[in-house]
């Protein structure tokens, strides 16, 4: 094989290698972008779920507080009735 032919083959191989490397880099960038998108989506979903749970917990605590308040008022009324203090 002549020197010119060897140089041509080496250049062709180098070009093919460079093209393949660029193809792999593009594929890696796309994969990283897709992974970042999925992570962002998961974070948003987690944040929304946490907010919903927070609101549900607040509602539950408010209901519980009202029930305790009503029970306490009932106990006070019962004691007043027993002592005869409920009549004005």
pLDDT of 9: 74
Q: Which two tokens stand for residue 16?
A: 């093919």
Contact 79, 73 (CB under 8 A): no
**pTM of the predicted model as reported, rounded to 2 decimal places:** 0.47
At residue 81, does pLDDT exceed 80?
yes
The Cα 25–Cα 27 span in angstroms is: 5
pLDDT of 84: 84
């Amino acid at each position: 094989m002549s020197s010119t032919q060897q140089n041509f083959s080496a250049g062709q191989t180098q070009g093919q290698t460079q093209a393949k490397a660029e193809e792999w880099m593009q594929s890696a960038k796309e994969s990283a972008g897709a992974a970042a998108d999925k992570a962002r989506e998961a974070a948003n979903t987690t944040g929304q779920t946490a907010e919903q749970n927070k609101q549900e917990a607040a509602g539950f605590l408010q209901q519980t507080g009202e029930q305790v308040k009503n029970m306490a008022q009932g106990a006070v009324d019962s004691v007043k009735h027993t002592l005869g203090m409920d009549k004005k």
